[in-house]
Amino acid sequence: MKGVVLAGGTGSRLNPLTRVTNKHLLPVYDKPMVAYPIQTLVNAGIHEILLVTGGKNAGDFLRLLGNGRDFGLKHLNYTYQEGEGGIAEALGLAEYFASGEPICVVLGDNIIENDICQAVENFKKQKEGAKILLKEVEDADRFGVAEIRGDRVIGIEEKPKKPKSNYAVVGIYLYDASVFEKIRRLKPSGRGELEITDVNNFYIDEGKLTYEVLDGWWTDAGTFESLLRANNLVAETGANKIKGRPVAKVFAHTEPPQ
């Protein structure tokens, strides 16, 4: 399985901070935001990773991350999204990298307390289709919201005014190789973007989408409120452990000499 981190977008909700840098390079406690989704993939045993970015600050990712040495990686792949076509369009750029293998996709502003190891292992047993992670939240109207009937997701609605449940779709997705054919079938939404929710609904229509409820806390960091929450959660719970296992001391070697 390969991993994809989506770190494009304008970050307009974090203006004026994003006038000078990509939002995924902003600090969350003691590390850049983008370090957390990369570490999530590494902790799940995924070491072939593609970073999709865009905008005028794309080169800063290369200066920061290099070949991924800080995460114990031998190589880190990059690609560039021109314009603002949405999450699904950005994911479509990963088709060549995926080479027919299943992929785990993490949005660059998503931060979790624990790991996704079990979800990844369960998806490998699934053989085909997709798996999404859900989390019960109080502000579901900010996210894609899953409508659940029994043990099945029967629909997903993007940022609904009246959510049909409190289960937000976490920005972590597992897909088989058919995801790229589905992306090619998409039409822009009212926002002018290719929506990842529409991709997930294609899998629902085929009866091939499963879900799991994420253990531990989860937050995005795309607004001032959620960025503050992310900083506080990481600071309070300790950013250097995931389920009791030490996490690599990311960027430790970048400290200036004494």
Question: Is the four-CA dihedral 176, 178, 180, 183 of positive or negative sign?
Answer: negative
Q: Is residue 94 part of a domain?
A: yes
Query: Letter for the amino acid at 79?
Result: T
**Nearest CA-CA partner of 219 in 207, 209, 229, 211:** 229
Tens of pLDDT, residue by residue over 113-149, are 999 999 999 999 998 999 999 999 988 888 889 999 8
Q: Is residue 50 part of a domain?
A: yes
Tens of pLDDT, residue by residue over 71-122, are 999 999 999 998 777 899 999 999 999 999 999 999 999 999 999 999 999 9
What is the span of the domain harbouring residue 75?
Answer: 2-239
Residue 258 has pLDDT above 70, yes or no: no
Q: Is residue 150 part of a domain?
A: yes
- CB-hemisphere CA count at 13 Å for 6? 26
95, 142, 233 from 111: Cα distances, Å: 25, 16, 10
Q: Is residue 255 part of a domain?
A: no
Q: Is residue 258 part of a domain?
A: no
Residue 251 has pLDDT above 80, yes or no: no
| Token digits of residue 120 | 């990844």
Q: Is residue 248 part of a domain?
A: no
CB atoms within 10 A of CB 94: 25
How many structural domains does the chain have?
1
- CATH number at 185 reads 3.90.550.10
Q: Is residue 55 part of a domain?
A: yes
- Separation of alpha carbons 185 and 54, rounded Å: 23
Tens of pLDDT, residue by residue over 223-234, are 999 999 999 999
Strands (E) across the chain are located at 2-7, 27-28, 31-32, 49-54, 77-81, 103-107, 110-112, 130-136, 144-149, 152-158, 167-175, 209-213, 218-220, 241-242, 245-246
Q: Is residue 252 part of a domain?
A: no
